Amino acid sequence: MEFTKMHGLGNDFIIVAGEPKLPENAAELAIRLCNRYTGIGADGLVYILPSSKGDYMMRIINSDGSEAEQCGNAIRCVAKYVYDHGMVSKDEVVIETIGAGAQKVQLTVEGGKVSKVRVDMGEPILNGLQVPTTVDADPVVNHPIEVDGREFRFTAVSMGNPHCVIYVDDAVNFDLHTWGPKLETHPMFPKKINVEFTTVKTRDFADMRVWERGAGPTLACGTGACATLVSSVLNGLTDRTATISLKGGDLFIEWNEADNHVYMTGPAEVVFKGTL
């Protein structure tokens, strides 16, 4: 199996193209290959597959073998891969996902290679039951949740996959390992959840750290950055465009008032290629 190791702001993936469909043993492969000690090492295994709704379809298997409905960093990597490998020759591609449908991706090309990717992430889902949470409200904003005697308040957003955004005093130094897994598996989230701990600095800048469902702490989460901006607008903390600063770098996020779509702009990088 030929693969390419790629990352978006340190959120890293094993990219595989050329398969006609998702292999039946994809979950087992992801667990084995994503292991950072005995495998290639990655947050997820990504397959680029044929699509009836776009140029290509993306399927993402997390490092624990579960499947993610969508991934903002992975879709940037996939878009760069298909252009740089001559699988498309246009600067706008459509990538199909299982959670957010077909998404339009704009490519900035320099020297024949993609240097920056802007993704139309679609409309955020704010209905609590559809995110999903057990909270029957639309939207779910600043809602209390108790974990081990500590109360947090979260705002729920789906970007094709579920997120809860929690505001803390210092996101950069927040104890992800203690609170992330407990919130991810809380009964209030029937399909588990991605958790973003956020500190808003100004109307156009926020720090965010993420505990990803199925992967744990990662250096970046594109859909999480989108959810963070949407949440911050709903809570009156930021404007509709802002830089979301993650451990691996910054993403520029826009929540367009005209079409209600969220747009994400950021890089994607190749690390190395190999044959397994």
Residues acting as catalytic residues? 71, 221
| C-alpha to C-alpha distance for 224 and 220, rounded to whole angstroms | 8
What three-state secondary structure class fits 38? coil
| C-alpha to C-alpha distance for 136 and 130, rounded to whole angstroms | 9
**Tokens at 94, concatenated:** 């459509």
What three-state secondary structure class fits 192? coil
Q: CA angle 16-43-172, nearest 5°? A: 145
Backbone angles phi, psi at 88, to 5 degrees: -140, 160
26-37 in b/e form (b: 16+ CB < 10 A) is: bbebbbebbeee
- Dihedral sign, CA of 165, 159, 245, 235? negative
